[in-house]
Amino acid sequence: MQDLSRRSLFSLFGMPRARGIPNDTSPRAAEPESQAVARERIHKRYFPDITLLTQNNKKVRFYEDLVKNKVVTLNFFYAKCEGVCPAVTANLVQVQKMLGNRVGRDLFMNSITLKPEEDDPAALKEYQKMYGMGPGWNLLTGKPADIELLRKSLGFTYPDPRIDKDKSQHIGNVRYGNEPLMLWSACPGMAHAKWIAESISWVIRS
């Protein structure tokens, strides 16, 4: 997955900027796709409604509970990562502080473990305490097959399968978006925290 700039706010998942308007000019294609149909199509293709567990050992559905009707951030990590995870997590903690009480009200942060076989809710809770993460930030684990489905559906992959299966080289990007408005983009998790917070603010409803 390539890093995306701020200009690619509408480009995640290959969606056109004018939502639902096909690229060809035939009379049939000129009919706009309804917002409800477009949202459902995006949901089915990119947001599998798998069951996950939070750091508080609470069962949640990925789409219905965590994404639907919300503005969210999404990233992957694992607790004992010695690569990009510590830096990205520390950076996102700064982003959370900058956004203040909007997190948990206007925005919900979600970090998904790449090693669910190691990161049970207790391990995630310890990770939360270690980094001082505040309310409104879910740390998530689940069945390995479900986590892998989610990773691929969200596009956190490398084209080279040898690199892709090496979790120590996982992508440190952060997806962010407004699900009701179908606005999605991404940025490097190690970018300047102020820039990340500003970029996320663009998709939060005023």
What domains are defined for the chain?
6-13+32-201 (3.40.30.10)
Average the pLDDT over 57-84 and give the result. 96
Return d(Cα 138, Cα 73) in angstroms, integer: 10
Residues 152-173: pLDDT tens digits? 999 998 888 888 787 877 888 9
> Which tokens sit at 192?
């300047």
Up-side HSE of residue 28: CA atoms within 13 Å toward CB?
0
pTM for this predicted structure: 0.83
- Residue 96 scores a pLDDT above 60: yes
